[in-house]
Structure formats: C-alpha cells, structure tokens
Amino acid sequence: MGIKTVMLTGDNPHTAKAIADQVGIDEAQGNLLPADKLSAIEALYARNHRVGMVGDGINDAPALARAEIGFAMAAAGTDTAIETADVALMDDDLRKIPTFIRLSRQTSAVLKQNIILAIATKVLFIGITFAGLATMWMAVFADMGVSLLVVFNGLRLLKK
C-alpha cells in the first residue's frame, strides 16, 4: 500500500522497538509525552508525508487532532481520544485500517470520475445548445441522465 508505519509511545523505547519488530512496524519511538507525539506528527508533515494516527488515550489526543485522519481504539480508548479522532474502531481491530484506506482511495477515484463526467456532459450540452443543435429538453434529459450515471457509478463501491 506504500505506507510507512511509525509507533509513537510513552513506553520504554526498547519495549517499543521489540513490539514494532514483532508486528512489522517500520520505526518506533519511545518515552514520548503528548507534546513529543505532536512534534513527531509535525516532523512528518514537514517532510511532506500524509499522516494518519491511531491512538487510545488522552496522551494521544493532540496527535490525533493534528493528523490528517485520526483513528481511535474505541473499545479500550478514552472518551477524549474517541471524540478527537475522525474514525472510531469499535472493536479495536487494527487490521481494518488497510481496508479503510483502500475504500477511501476507491471513493476518491469514483468522486473524481463523477465530477469529470458531470462537468464534461454539461459543457458539451451547453456548447451544443448554443450552436443550435440541441433543444432545452435534450439538455434536461442529458442532465438527468448524467445524474443517474453518477449515482450508478458510485454504487459500484458497494460491490467491493
């Protein structure tokens, strides 16, 4: 998926590194206070990275708020983390995050397709109408038709 994972924790750095190695996390930083986690997020932004944050506690709230998207571990998380995050993982299953990312990317692609299709159709019919080759009713039907196409194109996401 092209995603680099970084663990930011208040726990011992050696413990963080050991856990990161076991679960396949690329980098681990330990002994971090909430301000340190926020600084780490800012440093990633400074290097032009897109940043998502997963957290469960009050110490994660500032970093969750600053990240482009924050995921709260809702079952074991604090109210502050859940309220600060954009997404609450109700069963604390981290394996759902790649599915969420994949669906987000697919949704973004479909939205772009729909916008281009709708604008192109409208521009085409404006031109045809001004050229005198189309009637107002043809433009109305084209507008309704493209609205249906956009809806059906969006429904493709439900199959995946």
Residues 86, 118, single domain; the answer is no
Domain membership of residue 110 as a residue range: 100-159
Residues 123, 154, single domain; the answer is yes
pLDDT digits (tens, 9 = 90+) for 27-67: 999 999 999 999 999 999 999 999 999 999 889 999 999 99
Tally: H helices and E strands in the chain: 6, 5
Rounded Cα–Cα distance for residues 96 and 39 (Å): 27
Residues 10, 49, single domain; the answer is yes
pLDDT digits (tens, 9 = 90+) for 92-133: 788 888 889 999 999 999 999 999 999 999 899 888 988 989
Residues 141, 106, single domain; the answer is yes
What pLDDT is recorded for position 57?
Answer: 87
37 inside domain = yes
Q: Report if pTM > 0.85.
A: no
Token reading at 20: 């990161």
Residues 106, 90, single domain; the answer is no
Q: Which of 98, 115, 135 is the last residue of a domain?
A: 98
CB half-sphere exposure, 53, CA atoms < 13 A = 30
- Say how many domains are in the chain: 2
Q: Per-residue confidence at 140, pLDDT binned at 50, 70, 90?
A: confident
